[in-house]
Amino acid sequence: MKMMKLFISLLFVSLVIFSCGDSKGKKSVQKLLSNYEKLVQYCTDKNQTLDHYTTIIVINEIGTCINCNNIFSKSQGKNLDSDSILFIVSGIGTKVDLSAYVDRKAPNLIYDDSAGFDTLNIVKSCAIITISGKKINSIEEINVKNVYEVSNRGQGVN
């Protein structure tokens, strides 16, 4: 009888511990979402849609080459007038020069001074994301090996 009570108590405690799961709520749900779904949700939260964009330029202040991020950021300002490119600028400009984007009121620009995009863990540095058919085709992250090649490509997104 005593053994049975102990067994039931142990079983109950085990069930409670394993059923509690992750208490981080939204973060645990995001782990289950695809990167495209994360992008859609992020853009929706920022009152933006991905429907007519084929490219997303991500400019942020994270990664191992901050100088590369600066070079890339400066080279992409010329693309702000493109209807097919969405800009996500994530950061406040303390490490990377974001001055071309901060005061700009463009319909294809999300300026995220809270760096919320970075918490989605879609990219680890500045990047070019190509999308079509409700999926991500490619993610090209900017690094010391490709920064000049990517930054010097005409529109920067081919």
pLDDT computed for residue 151 by the predictor? 85
pLDDT computed for residue 32 by the predictor? 61
57 inside domain? yes
The residue segments making up the domain with residue 130 are: 26-151
Contact assessment for residue 110 and residue 87, using Cβ atoms and an 8 Å cutoff: yes
18 inside domain? no
3 inside domain? no
CATH of the domain at 58: 3.40.30
158 inside domain? no
Residue 83: closest CA among 44, 55, 112: 55
4 inside domain? no
pLDDT in tens, the chain (158 residues): 665 554 455 444 444 444 444 444 444 444 567 999 999 999 999 999 998 999 999 999 999 999 999 999 999 988 899 999 999 999 999 999 999 998 888 999 999 999 999 999 999 999 999 999 899 999 999 999 999 998 887 444 54
Domain count, the chain: 1
CB atoms within 10 A of CB 99: 12
7 inside domain? no
Angle at the Cα of 61 from the Cα atoms of 153 and 123, rounded to 5 degrees: 70
pLDDT computed for residue 118 by the predictor? 95
